[in-house]
Amino acid sequence: MSGGEASALPLEKQFEDFRSQLEDSVTLRERIRAVVLEIESTTRLMYSSLLLVYLSRPLLEVLDKSKAHIGTLKDHYSRLADILSECPDQYYRYHGDWRSETQTAVSLLAFTHYLETGNLLLHNEAGEKLGLTNSQFGLDLEDYLVGVCFMSNELPRYVVNQVTAGDYDCPRKVLKFLTELNAAFRMLNLRNDFLRKKFDGLKYDLRRVEEVFYDVKIRGLASDGDSTGNQGSKENNDSEVVH
Amino acid sequence: MKCSSAIQKIVLMASSSSPQRLRQWANFQSSPKKARTMSTQSSLKDAFSSYADYLNNLNEKRERVVKASRDITMNSKKVIFQVHRISKNKKEEVLEKAYKDLAAVMNQYVARLVKELKGSDFWKLRRAYSPGIQEYVEAATLCRFCKSGTLLSLEEMNASFSSLSNPSQEPLQINILDYILGLADLTGELMRLAIGRISDGELQYAEKICTFVREIHRELTLLVPHMDEPSDMKTKMETMLQSVIKIENACFSVHVRGSECNLLGTDDSSYSLMGAAEGIDL
């Protein structure tokens, strides 16, 4: 420990420095929060666009409306990145301020992507859409995964309404998607944290979709689609159970 | 056949549901094994296996950081206990041992932290190492105060860490928040120290501690609203104020009873001083 001059630094001086540093971080946080509010309102608009899917609007129209907001989101994130570039390596100090908004954004992007392609939007793809590809300001993986779980929460409602609207093949597709997603999630060693809880929620979504699939199937409403290859074995199973 | 007996078991277990329903359920359960579109599934698997690697590495690292932090806490506490062994006549050697132990904490355990943390980790894993660092700040500032009566500054502390990492590495930097939180805890230790000194008859030393603690309390009061988690700091401030008041009351008792002694004309002042300190509830 060096004594001498440094310790002669008056106590007040050090605390004055602290105060000005902390005040700077408060100001920075206020600026971050201002941008986050805009992100929040954009995701709200995007969500309301996606909700048109339940109002029997044509899918293309819904997708166009939803995707129109992605550019705005990207702009907001680039402003956020600019602010954060003033304090390198402090991403995670302020991360909590935009965390839940980012999870929501990911869930909406992933839902849009699913409606469009039938596939899962991957982490790097989500990052690209939001412009979060920088190593200093990227998309946190755990936020992405939580966002994916949020998206899965939307699927039971989607399936129910699609069936009501007469799309009987939808449950099968969603079920396949969710089953694969569930299997993928089970590859992860999760800690006992928020993400784990959200993943537990995904199983309930899966079960709900299974029920819808069953309801449709048992009434012979589902078209057999490309599943004809499995018909034979299914019938075998049936007869085995019945005896 | 294996499959069907398993299904029957399920049927028995869930007797409330219709068997038909379960049969359907079983049908679909067996179908995903025959994956129809291998391509999408395998890209999903690839992606998730890289996510799994990332999460495993992160969790292992966090675990190591938590362990290092716990070791720092435990051994810093030992340093603090050592400082409390100070007595009127044994100040130098007790402090010397405390400094030696403190250096060992730094070289053994803080050094382990330094190896783990780089770049954004300092903030990302802050929760994992913050308790240890706060305890270390407490121990180091306590040693410094006992040695020279001054406050070890954050700048000095961070400078002392530079020797732990080779120049190519980023040096460990304690952040302001952990330093301030550590200082808030320091006042509790100083309170114990002050009471001990009063019992030992070192009234002047106790008064010096009192002034120092008052100063820290006053300075920190201004910082509370600007902390990242002001509510945590608020509770610490209340405890701190209690410590300050305890020292003040102890000094007051000694002061009042001390003058009583003078009035009575006894010169055995240490006896009454002991009494004054006993009245303080730690």
Three-state secondary structure of chain B: CHHHHHHHHHHHHCCCCCHHHHHHHHHHHHHHHCCCCHHHHHHHHHHHHHHHHHHHHHHHHHHHHHHHHHHHHHHHHHHHHHHHCCCCCCHHHHHHHHHHHHHHHHHHHHHHHHHHCCCCHHHHCHHHHHHHHHHHHHHHHHHHHHHHCCCCCHHHHHHHHHHHCCCCCCCCCCCHHHHHHHHHHHHHHHHHHHHHHHHCCCHHHHHHHHHHHHHHHHHHHHHHHHCCCHHHHHHHHHHHHHHHHHHHHHHHHHHHHHHHHHHHCCCCHHHHHHHHHHCCCC
Residues B170/B225, Cβ–Cβ less than 8 Å: no
pLDDT digits over B239-264, tens only?
A: 999 999 999 999 998 888 876 655 55
Q: Which residues of A touch B149 (CB under 8 A)?
A: none
Between B51, B155, B156, which is nearest A188 by CB?
A: B51
Whether B52 and A188 lie within 8 Å, measured CB to CB: yes
| Architecture of the domain whose range is A153-243 | Up-down Bundle (1.20)
pTM of the model: 0.80
Calculate how close chain A gets to B200, using CA atoms only, in Å.
27
Contacts of B116 (CB under 8 A, 6+ apart): B61, B64, B65, B68, B125
Which residues of A are less than 8 Å from B215 in CB distance?
11
pLDDT bin (cut points 50, 70, 90) of residue B119 is confident
Q: From CA B162, how far away is CA B106, in angstroms rounded? A: 11
Distance set, CA A105 to CA A102, A166, B26 (Å): 5, 29, 36
Contacts of B220 in chain A (CB under 8 A): 15
Name B229's Cβ contacts closer than 8 Å, sequence gap at least 6.
none
Least confident of B10-14, B58-62, B187-191, B242-246: B10-14
Structure tokens at B106: 């730094």
Report B:164-223 residues touching A (Cβ under 8 A): 176, 180, 215-216, 219-220, 222-223
According to the model, what pLDDT value does residue A9 have? 55
The alpha-helical segments, DSSP class H, found in A54-140 are 59-67, 70-84, 91-94, 99-117, 123-130
d(CA B22, CA B282): 67
Question: Could you give the percent of chain B with pLDDT greater than 90?
Answer: 58
Mean pLDDT, to the nearest integer, of B111-136? Answer: 91
Q: Which two tokens stand for residue A229?
A: 């290859």
Please give, rounded to a whole number of angstroms, the shortest distance from the CA of B187 to a CA of chain A. Answer: 15
Tokens, residue A29:
């946080």
Yes or no, beta carbons of A181 and B44 under 8 Å apart: yes
For residue A176, the chain B residues in CB contact (below 8 A) are 32, 36
Q: What is the mean pLDDT of residues A144-168?
A: 95
Task: Compute the Cα dihedral for B55, B56, B57, B63 and give only its sign.
Answer: positive
Q: Which residue in chain A has the smallest CA separation from B106?
A: A1
Which of B12-22 are b and which e, b meaning 16 or more Cβ less than 10 Å from the residue's Cβ? eeeeeeebeeb
Nearest by CB to residue B153, choosing from A14, A187, A229, is A14
Per-residue confidence (pLDDT) for residue B13, from 0 to 100: 42
Partner-chain contact B40 A119, CB within 8 Å: yes
CB B187 within 8 A of CB B240: yes
Most confident by average pLDDT, B79-83, B90-94, B225-229? B79-83
Gap between the Cα atoms of B76 and B139, Å rounded: 6
Place A89 in a pLDDT band, splitting at 50, 70 and 90.
Answer: confident
What's the pLDDT score for residue B262? 57
The domain A1-144: what is its CATH number?
A: 1.20.58.190
Whether residues B123 and A92 touch (CB distance < 8 A) is answered with yes
Task: Give B278 to chain A, closest Cα distance, Å.
Answer: 32
> Dihedrals φ, ψ of A24, to 5°?
-60, -45
- Sorted by sequence, the CB contacts under 8 Å of residue A171 that are 6+ apart come out as A159, A162, A163, A209, A212, A213, A216, A217, A222
CB atoms closer than 10 angstroms to residue A38: 16
* Residue A208 token pair: 């709900």
Test A241 with B52 for CB contact under 8 angstroms: no
Per-residue model confidence as pLDDT tens digits over B22-59: 344 444 434 443 344 445 567 899 999 999 999 999 99
How far apart (Å, rounded) are the C-alpha atoms in residues A233 and A229? 9
Q: In the prediction, which pLDDT does B39 show? A: 52
Burial class (CB within 10 angstroms; exposed 0-12, middle 13-18, buried 19+) of B68? buried
User: Chain-wide mean pLDDT for chain B?
Assistant: 81
Closest-approach residue (CA) in chain A for B143 = A1
Is the CB of residue B45 less than 8 Å away from at least one CB of chain A?
Answer: yes
pLDDT score recorded for residue B173: 86
- CATH topology match: A1-144 vs A153-243: yes
Do the Cβ atoms of A218 and B18 come closer than 8 Å?
no
Give the highest mean pLDDT range of A26-35, B225-234, B271-280: A26-35
For helices A141-164 and A123-130, the axis angle rounded to 10 degrees is 90
Cβ neighbors of A109 (< 8 A, separation 6 or more) are A70, A121, A126, A129, A130, A147
Q: Which residue has the tokens 């048109």?
A: A52
Q: Find the DSSP H helices in A118-220.
A: 123-130, 141-164, 170-185, 194-218
Q: What are the residue boundaries of the structural domains of chain A, listed by start?
A: 1-144, 153-243
Candidates B263, B248, B270; CA nearest to B202 is B270
Out of B19, B23, B120, the one facing A89 most closely (by C-beta) is: B120
Closest by Cβ to B52, choosing from A22, A25, A187: A187
Chain B residues with beta carbon closer than 8 angstroms to that of A1: 99, 140, 143-144, 152, 156, 160
User: Residue A4's Cα: distance from chain center in Å?
Assistant: 55
Nearest beta carbon to residue B45 from set A179, A184, A242: A184
Strand partners, A138: A133
- The helix (H) or strand (E) run that includes residue A36 is helix A11-50
Place of tokens 């939001």: A130
Q: B114 touching A, CB under 8 A?
A: no
Distance, in Å, from the CA atom of A57 to the CA atom of A50, rounded to the nearest integer, reads 10
Average confidence (pLDDT) over A187-202: 92
The Cα B280–Cα A105 span in angstroms is: 57
With contacts defined as CB-CB under 8 Å, which chain B residues touch A241? 4, 7-8, 11, 19, 23, 26
SS3 A138: strand
Q: Looking at the predicted structure, is the pLDDT value of residue A10 above 70?
A: yes
Chain B residues touching residue A22 (CB < 8 angstroms): 176, 223, 226-227
